[in-house]
Amino acid sequence: MRAALLVGIAGAIGAVSRVSIGEISFGFGNFPFATFTVNMVGTFFLCFLSAGFIQRLRLNHDLQTALTTGFLGSFTTFSAFSMETVNLFQNDAILIALMYIASSIVGGFLFGSIGMKLARKAGRE
């Protein structure tokens, strides 16, 4: 029960953080930069933490779950990515939709890889 409560609290903080970034973000045309930004930042931190750095923080398992599943799970958003992509296609912004899909996939791998490499490097120091 404690883990679920912590995940809920962290999830609320992650969701509010995500909305805040959406409100202050800038945009170029129809490209959904807010969702792209939170997904790349969230991917980086999830991979960074999952590559072993979270154990260095010496958090108990419930707090680790709250941080990863709760905060980062609600901060990032696959459903918004999907909805925005569908909307772009429906509004005949095909090129932007394809760029969004490609940049999200490539960016996710890139940010995830960087996060893992930095965590492993930090673990050796």
Distance CA 5, CA 84 (A): 31
In which residue are the tokens 């760029």 written? 99
pTM above the 0.85 mark? Answer: yes
76 is in an annotated binding site: yes
In which residue are the tokens 């969004």 written? 100
The pLDDT confidence band at residue 53, using thresholds 50, 70 and 90, is confident
73 is in an annotated binding site: yes
Distance CA 35, CA 78 (A): 9
- Over residues 68-100, the pLDDT tens digits come to 999 999 999 899 999 999 999 999 999 999 999
Distance CA 118, CA 112 (A): 10
Q: Annotate 64-93 with three-state secondary structure.
A: HHHHHHHHHHHHCCHHHHHHHHHHHHHCCC
What is the mean pLDDT of the segment spanning 110-115? 96
